[in-house]
Amino acid sequence: MATDTSVHTDNASQDLPQRKDRKVNGGTGHGHAESTEAPPPPADDVFADLNALRLDPATSLAGTAEVLIHVPVRKPGRLEFVRTHANHDMALATSIFRDDEERCDYLVPPRIRPLLLGYLKPVQLTATISRQGVLFLWPVPLPDPDATGAGRAQAWGDTARQAAALARDAWLRLKPDMDLGSYRAVLAEGVLPDPIWPEKTLQELMRIGFKDRVIDSADHPIIRKLRGLS
């Protein structure tokens, strides 16, 4: 009987490593360290490398160029500081028709001006830029020999011309003063950098600014409306 007992003991001891191996293979044994590495991301995972998505300011705008497609024709807003172009070639004395209903200005060539006598406004179209870099054409009023009335009415045009001249060298704001009956020129108190002007001629600016707004024939809708034909 003693012999049988020892034999059973030896067989039991031989089975122990096999059970241990089964535990290791099952992932619960202590013979090997369990792997904690995350599985690799899929090949098409766009978020795998965030550095590849990072924006580089030095190259983000490389190869791009802004195209000027809109040039407003207006006077400066009373809250914006502006400069006018110092080059006298960037201003032109001409005539415009102001449509008060639509609140827009039309360019009138010389051959059409006789058809609009009494409706034209002599202005100096002046290239102007705001502190925000908005480029526009300022129709600065010119003295009108055919205009009726003087004094208070002419003061608005006189002070606008003075402000436009000052704005060639300094940032200023055009402030209307109803009690005074004229504009006030408010100079910027800070030391502001000079504007960066786009490389555009006045001809190019006018072509953009007056696109579809040139009264070039007697059949133009504006003239037809003034004659009661439409």
* Listed range (132-136, 142-146, 172-176) with the worst mean pLDDT: 142-146
Span 30-73, pLDDT tens digits: 555 566 777 776 777 888 888 888 877 666 555 667 789 999 99
Residue pair 171/110 in contact (Cβ under 8 Å)? The answer is no
Q: What angle do CA 144, 124, 168 make, to 5 degrees?
A: 130
Would you say residue 219 has pLDDT above 60? yes
Would you say residue 148 has pLDDT above 90? no
Would you say residue 11 has pLDDT above 50? no
Would you say residue 218 has pLDDT above 70? yes
CA distances from 183 to 56, 110, 151, 174, 218 (A): 47, 30, 14, 6, 36
Span 17-41, pLDDT tens digits: 454 444 444 444 455 556 677 777 6
Between these two residues, 227 and 57, which has the higher pLDDT value?
Answer: 227
Instruction: With H, G, I as helix, E, B as strand and everything else as coil, classify residue 101.
Output: coil
- Specify the pLDDT at position 150: 59
- Specify the pLDDT at position 132: 95
- H or E stretch at 104: strand 104-107
Q: How is the chain split into domains, by residue range?
A: 81-226
Span 78-94, pLDDT tens digits: 999 999 999 999 999 99
Span 169-210, pLDDT tens digits: 999 999 999 999 999 999 999 999 999 999 999 999 999 999
- Specify the pLDDT at position 57: 66
**Cα separation of 173 and 159, whole Å?**
12
For 125, residues 6+ apart whose C-beta sits below 8 A from its C-beta are: 73, 91, 92, 93, 94, 96, 137, 138, 139, 140, 202, 206
Between these two residues, 150 and 123, which has the higher pLDDT value?
Answer: 123
Between these two residues, 64 and 100, which has the higher pLDDT value?
Answer: 100
Q: Per DSSP, what are the bridge partners of residue 195?
A: none
Token pair, residue 85, equals 């172009």
